[in-house]
Amino acid sequence: MTVRPLTSLSEDERIFQSAVLDYARNKVGPRVHAMDEAAKIDADLIPGLFELGLMGVEVPEALGGAGGQFFDAILAVEALATVDPSVSVFVDVQNTLVNNALLRWGTADLQKRYLPKMCSEWVGSYCLSEASSGSDAFALKTRADRVDGGWKLSGTKLWITNGAEASLYIVLANVAPEKGYKGITAFVVERDFAGFTVGKKEDKLGIRASSTTELLLDGVFVPDANVLGEVGVGYKIAIETLNEGRIGIGAQMIGLAQGAFDYAMKYMLERQQFGRPIAEFQGLEFQYAQVATEIEAARLMVYNAARLKDAGQPFVKEAAMAKLFSSQVAERAASLAIEFLGGVGFTKEYPVEKFFRDAKIGKIYEGTSNMQLSTIGKLLRKAYSSRK
């Protein structure tokens, strides 16, 4: 009997992953340092991401997409992150947050109007966070007031990924603050809607080429047709979308960890001290054997969560665990990679210091590690309480 490992891929999945890796290494790789220094993604890369189908992985072919599965998007995010986590999260947000929300909650009209553009030219952004709304995701101050034919949005969004490049934004606002989270509604906003402005871009520690901006909404008119889902169910859209998005962050983190590890292993096999490669010294051997094991374990968790999602099975606990653990592994792998390289690992001439800076965000965005632990704890209590 042949047993297929959970991390094994089908032939189509291997071909797809290989194509993404080739693009990442040949097209993205030479630009990574310059993009990090400029804190901006190279615009010349973006058309290639569309041409490869990476900006519309799950969108049906009839709407211009690749017609793939969620797992395919996860493979793409992981592969890109082995070279540049900034480009990886650029693709991740497009697929796991924006396109997924339109596919799950959008009307036929919204999907027909926007998804073909999302697969060919438009970048998307998901806009939930505010100054008072972080881990307390539903403490929104952004208002949506009813007017003839639609709504007027007013407020400020912060920490918005892809904010600088996006043409389409899914904006969460509250139509009835007195109802609390039951007033939260999702709106599909185009960049050129009157009153909508992209504000300052954050100067960040890591994933610097990925834009993180504020958004200013000054009475932005959004027609009724651009309400995503139903009025008052935005909280549900946010929860379900972020649950899926966490698997994407997990994929980014395992790709990052693998990229740092691959570079460190190559270096340790070439670098000689006392007449032999430093990889042969037990003091290093035990450390890289341990971290390689942790990367593989994290990959199993991420792949398992993605497969469960595609199969229509419960995956929230698995997604939280995958994000939690993969972000821990990524930080540890990148940190050790610097130590494995020694002094040169601490310089910007080598890529591992960037992987180390990029890794930190994994424990913060799309739900901090503490929030993942809280989710896991609640689900465990529920499961054990139901046992006879």
Kindly list the catalytic residues.
Answer: 366
| C-beta separation of 216 from 199 below 8 A | yes
Alpha helices in 161-278 (DSSP H): 234-270
| C-beta separation of 298 from 254 below 8 A | yes
Which tokens in the block code for residue 93? Answer: 């947000």
Which tokens in the block code for residue 326? Answer: 């993969």
Residue 370 one-letter amino acid: N
Contacts of 185 (CB under 8 A, 6+ apart): 144, 151, 172, 173, 174, 175, 227, 229, 230, 231, 232, 233, 234
Contacts of 12 (CB under 8 A, 6+ apart): none
C-alpha torsion 191→196→197→201, nearest 10? -70
Q: What is each CA distance from 142 to 30, 127, 155, 323, in whole angstroms?
A: 41, 11, 4, 28
| C-beta separation of 212 from 161 below 8 A | yes
| C-beta separation of 128 from 173 below 8 A | no
3-state secondary structure of 273: strand
- Residue 352 CA to residue 357 CA, distance in Å, equals 9
- Residue 228 CA to residue 127 CA, distance in Å, equals 13
| DSSP annotation of 166 | -
Q: Among positive and negative, which fits the CA dihedral 124, 130, 135, 139?
A: negative
C-alpha torsion 186→92→333→4, nearest 10? 110
